């Protein structure tokens, strides 16, 4: 919900481990940017979601409790699925991504480095043959065969 309202995740970090630490220490890291005008109901709703479990919205009455929050005042939940969407994408196929933003992510080729490390560890041509299987573990479960 924070990301939908603000535009970026609340605990975003460069490294997954740093993101994890921010989530664990959420009281110190949950900040609402002062230049974003959310409104009291929106901020209260997000804070009701991102809090200690005993205080979390929905803990007592489930989804009904969320629907009753003032942030959703005016939403007719009974007819919500009958309302036509303001924008309906026209997809060319199931894998059409034309409506997603195109961000150029630099691709770094680590294959030469991996090959060198693998050859050093295994020695010779065996490393080249097993390169496509780095990170893949195969286990044979003969006990399950009939």
Tell me what pLDDT residue 51 has. 94
Residue 101 lies in a domain: no
DSSP 125: H
Query: pTM of this prediction?
Result: 0.60
Task: In whole angstroms, give the CA distance from residue 125 to residue 51.
Answer: 54
Tell me what pLDDT residue 146 has. 45
Residue 85 lies in a domain: no
Q: In the listed set 78, 96, 122, which residue is the last one of a domain according to the structure?
A: 78
Tell me what pLDDT residue 100 has. 84
Domain count, the chain: 2
Low-confidence ranges of the chain (pLDDT < 70): 104-108, 110-111, 114-115, 117-146
Range of the domain at 132: 111-141
- Phi/psi-derived region of residue 48, left when phi > 0, alpha when psi is between -120 and 50, beta in every other case: alpha
Residue 24 lies in a domain: yes
Tell me what pLDDT residue 25 has. 94
51 & 119 share domain: no
67 & 115 share domain: no
Q: Are 127 and 115 in contact (CB under 8 A)?
A: yes
Q: Are 47 and 31 in contact (CB under 8 A)?
A: no
116 & 68 share domain: no
Task: In whole angstroms, give the CA distance from residue 95 to residue 91.
Answer: 8
């Amino acid at each position: 919900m924070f990301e939908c309202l603000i535009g970026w995740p609340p605990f975003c970090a460069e490294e997954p481990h740093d993101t994890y630490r921010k989530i664990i220490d959420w009281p110190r890291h949950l900040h609402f940017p002062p230049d974003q005008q959310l409104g009291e109901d929106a901020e209260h709703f997000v804070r009701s979601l991102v809090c200690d479990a005993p205080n979390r919205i929905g803990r007592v009455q489930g989804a009904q409790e969320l629907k009753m929050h003032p942030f959703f005042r005016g939403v007719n939940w009974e007819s919500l699925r009958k309302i036509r969407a303001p924008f309906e994408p026209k997809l060319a196929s199931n894998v059409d991504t034309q409506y997603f933003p195109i961000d150029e992510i630099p691709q770094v080729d680590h294959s030469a480095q991996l090959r060198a490390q693998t050859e050093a560890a295994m020695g010779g041509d065996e490393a080249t043959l097993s390169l496509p299987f780095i990170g893949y573990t195969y286990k044979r479960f003969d006990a399950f065969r009939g």
